Structure 1
Amino acid sequence: MLRKILLGVAMMVLAAGVVAEEKPVFEAGVHYAEISKAVPTRSADKVEVVAVFGYLCPHCNNFEPMLQSWEKNLTDDIDYHHIPVVFSKAWAPLARGYYVADMKGVVKETHQAMFDAVHMQNRRFNNEKDLAEFYAGYGIDPEEFDKLYNSFAVDTKLNQGMAKVQSYEVTGVPSMVVNGKYRVTASMAGGSAEMLKVVNYLIEKELNSN
Structure 2
Amino acid sequence: MRKLMLGVVLAAAGLIGQLAQAEEFQAGKEYVELRNPVPTIDADKIEVVELFWYGCPHCYQFEPVVHPWAEQLPEDVIFRRIPAMFGGVWNLHGQLFIALEAMNVGEEVHQAVFAAMHRDGKKLATPEAMADLLVDHGVEREAFLKTFNSFGVRSATEKAKRQGMAYQITGVPVMVVNGKYRFDLGSAGGPQRTLEVADYLIDKERAAR
TM over 0.5: yes
Q: Deviations over 1:1-21 (max 9, x none)?
A: xxxxxxxxx9xx979955884
1:101 to 2:100 alignment: yes
TM-score by length of 1: 0.88
Which contiguous aligned blocks of 4+ residues in structure 1 show a shift greater than 4 angstroms? 13-20
5+ residue gaps, structure 2, are 1-5
8 Å contact 1:98–1:107 — kept in the other structure? no
Is there any run of 5+ residues in structure 1 with no aligned partner, and where?
1-9
Q: Give me the identity figure in percent.
A: 37
CA contact (8 A) 1:52 1:173 kept: yes
Alignment correspondent of 2:32: 33
> 1:108 Cα deviation (Å)?
1.2
Paired residue for 1:24? 21
Which aligned pairs between 1:1-210 and structure 2 lie closer than 5 A? 18=14, 21-22=17-18, 24-25=21-22, 26-210=25-209
- Pick which of 40-49 and 123-132 moved more: 123-132
Q: Which has the larger radius of gyration?
A: 1
Deviations 1:1-52 (A, max 9, x none): xxxxxxxxx9xx9799558843512110011001110110000110000000
Q: After superposition, give the CA deviation of every residue in 1:118-159 in whole Å (9 maximum; x if it has no partner).
A: 101111212110011122223322111111111111111111
Helix, strand or coil: the match of 1:51?
strand
Query: 2:49 aligns to what SS in structure 1?
Result: strand
Cα root mean square deviation, aligned: 2.0
Write the deviation string for residues 84-125 of structure 1: whole angstroms up to 9, x where unpaired: 111221112221111111011114121111111110111121
Could you tell me the TM-score, scaled by structure 2's length? Answer: 0.89
In 2, the alpha carbon distance for the partners of 1:131 and 1:107 equals: 16
